[in-house]
Each structure stands twice: as structure tokens, then as C-alpha cells.
Amino acid sequence: MFRKILLLIFITLFAVHTQAQTDSSGLRISLLTCGPGDEIYEQFGHTAIRVVDTLSRTDIVYNYGTFGFEEDFEIKFMRGKLLYYVSRESFNGFISGYAPYERSVEEHVLQMTAEEKQSVQDYLVWNAKEENRYYKYDFFFDNCATRIRDIFPNALGDKFKFGYTLPEGQNLTFRDIMNQYFYVVHFERVGCNILLGSRIDKVMTNEDVMFLPDFLRDGVAGATVNNKSFVKESNLLSTQRVRQAGPNYPLIVFSIAALLTILGVTVSKLKFLGNLMSFLTLFITGLLGVLMLVMWFWTDHQGCENNFNVLWALPTNLILAFLPKRNKDKYALIGIVCIFISVLLHLLKVQGLPLLELSPLLLSLIFIFGWIVKKNRYAKA
């Protein structure tokens, strides 16, 4: 009996010693995933890493989505040269920016050895130093989620595998996912679709889609290390309010404008209206075309490259708006052909269009160009 008691004590002490040896770091590392907010830059949520150190009694959040409002903030943001950086803040300070606004915060506690936890913390501490903390933000390819996504395979090596997050049997593009998140803000959705080029119509891989916090969360939740679950436990720290989509104002505005344009160019008694709507439509689409070229060639925004929306929003429309429409029938015919080419590119999935909202605008342009052709032919006759 005495030997059995000694053996039981020995086994218990060995188990306690082994457990202490396997996790002597005192670290608890977790992924934080925050729900969407009201601002345009909050529509896709946010993500960060929380590190609780029981030895030093600290609870720190590493946030890769921090930027400063500098004097030339707007110019740098537009040109894609705004630097984001890694910041360290207390967990209580971080959570206070979400819970009062009814934005959800989910926590996934990660299961790693003491050595692996220490490796992750060492990297975060190094990355948060002044000389290492800055990076040039790119919404689709280098953001707060992709920075955290890349930490785990780098720290854990080949034994780490992300879970599969994409819906089976669906080939989703960056544009598809973006539109799903913009369902409550129609003007922002249409505007981003117009300014973003064909690069975001690339079909995403499982790693690509983790540029969004929700998909990074799902990839981590299903991840494994040596075929064992990477997530130890999940906690809902704050709940998300229900977000309701409002009326589709872009569709309403473009439809009313299209109706006025068509009436103006087809009814002779409304010639003034036709001239006014023709000027406004050509002027606005021309400005859009110029802006697309600026975002394509003079900024570092990768998502704005190869923007074939310039086919229907011809920058030269800006000039045409101020010129007499005589002898412009060839230009008008080219404009009509370009509109049909842009729609064809949409159907061929080369570059997606918000076709529902843009249809009235494209129809207006076709009627305006057709009106120009008709006037020139009558003049020549």
C-alpha cells in the first residue's frame, strides 16, 4: 500500500512538472476579430492579437491597423502611400473602442507550446519597435489581417495548416467579397466598384480571402498544428448590432437622371433639358475617367490597376461636354462601341460592373451619343 501511495505521488509530481515544462512561458495568445462599424473603413471589421503575460502581469493588444492623421493625410491616402503601423495598447483600451458601439469582438485562444508562444511574442515585440513597425497599407494585399495571417506559418513552419474557409464549389473574387460587405452602403459600394480595376476580379485562394478579418478568423478556427486543433477555446466578448441596408440611392438617382436625359434628347420641346443633361452626364463621366487614370497610373493602389471602366467613362467626355457637338458623330459611335465592350468584359468576367446601378447611366450615354450622331447626319443631309 505504501509503495502504491509513493508511486501515485511520484506520478502526480511528474505530471505537474511536465505541464510546467511544456508551458512555462506564462503566455496566453489569442486572435481578436471585431465586427463592422459605420464608417467606410470599418465596413470589413478588424483583427488584432492579444498577448496576456501572467508573469509580467500585462494584457497587451498588437494592432496592425493604426495610422496617423498627418498634415498631408488625404494626399498620401489617395496615392496609396499612407503608412500604417503596429501599435501596442492595453486590452481594456482596445475593447472600449468596440463594445460601446455594439461592434462584436470574438476571441480565439491559440494552442501552442511555450516555445512557440515565446516565438510569436518575440516577433510581435520586435515588429512593434519604431524602426520595424511601419508598412505601406494595401487593402487587398497587405493589411491588418494579412500581416497577422503571415505570422503563424512563419512562426510555426510546415506543421501549421490553415483551415479551409472558401465556400465549396464557388470561385469567389475580391470584388465578390467586397460587395458582400458593402451591402448596407450603396454609394460606397458603387463608387469602389467604379474606381477599382480588373485586378480584384482574380479568383481568390484560401490564403487570399484571409485579407478579411472574418475569413482569417475562420481559417484560424479550423487550423491545425501537427494535425491537432490550433484553437483552444473561443469567447464572444462583445455582441454585434443588426445592420440594416437602406434604399439603393445610386439606382434611384441614376434612374431619374436617365429618365430626364432620354426625355430631353428625344422630345424636341425639351431641348434645353436635353442639352443640360447631356452636358452634366458627359462632364461627370469625363471627370470619373480622369480620376480612374490618376488612380491607375499615379498611385500605389494595386486594386486600381487595369481599370477598364475608362471604356464607358471616357476621359475625353470632359472635353466634349464643353465643345459643340457638330462633326462629333465618329466620336459618338466610338463611345457607343466602348460601352458595349465594357459590358462584354463584365459578362466575360474580366472586370465586374455594378450593372444594376450603372445600367441607367450607360443607357443615358448611349442616348446622348445616338443623339449626337442623329444631329450630325441631319446637318450633313
Say what the pLDDT of residue 25 is: 79
Give per-residue pLDDT as tens, 219-268: 999 999 999 999 999 999 999 888 888 899 999 999 999 999 999 999 98
Tell me the backbone φ, ψ of residue 158, rounded to 5 degrees: -70, -20
Given a cut of 50, whether residue 18 has pLDDT beyond it is no
Apex 55 CA angle, 52 and 59, nearest 5: 25
Say what the pLDDT of residue 380 is: 65
SS3 at position 262: helix
According to CATH, where is 3.90.1720 located in the chain?
Answer: 24-166+207-238
What are the residues whose beta carbons fall under 8 Å from the beta carbon of 159, sequence distance 6 or more?
A: 225, 226
- 24-166+207-238 CATH choice from 3.40.50, 3.90.1720, 1.10.1760, 3.30.70: 3.90.1720
List C-alpha distances in Å: 189 to 40, 209, 302, 305, 331: 10, 18, 18, 18, 31
Is the whole-model pTM more than 0.85? Answer: yes
Of 121, 123, 144, 140, the C-alpha closest to 46 is: 144
Given a cut of 80, whether residue 51 has pLDDT beyond it is yes
Say what the pLDDT of residue 105 is: 96
Q: Higher model confidence: residue 192 or residue 7? A: 192
Of 317, 252, 316, 246, the C-alpha closest to 280 is: 317
Give per-residue pLDDT as tens, 365-377: 999 999 999 888 7
Given a cut of 60, whether residue 113 has pLDDT beyond it is yes
Average pLDDT, rounded, for the chain: 90
- Mean pLDDT value of segment 96-120: 93
Given a cut of 50, whether residue 78 has pLDDT beyond it is yes
Contact 220, 163 (CB under 8 A): yes
- Mean pLDDT value of segment 299-304: 91
235 CB-contact burial (10 Å; exposed 0-12 / middle 13-18 / buried 19+) = exposed
Percent of all residues in the chain with a pLDDT value above 70, rounded to a whole number: 92
Given a cut of 50, whether residue 341 has pLDDT beyond it is yes
Q: If pLDDT is split at 50, 70 and 90, which confidence band does 357 have?
A: very high
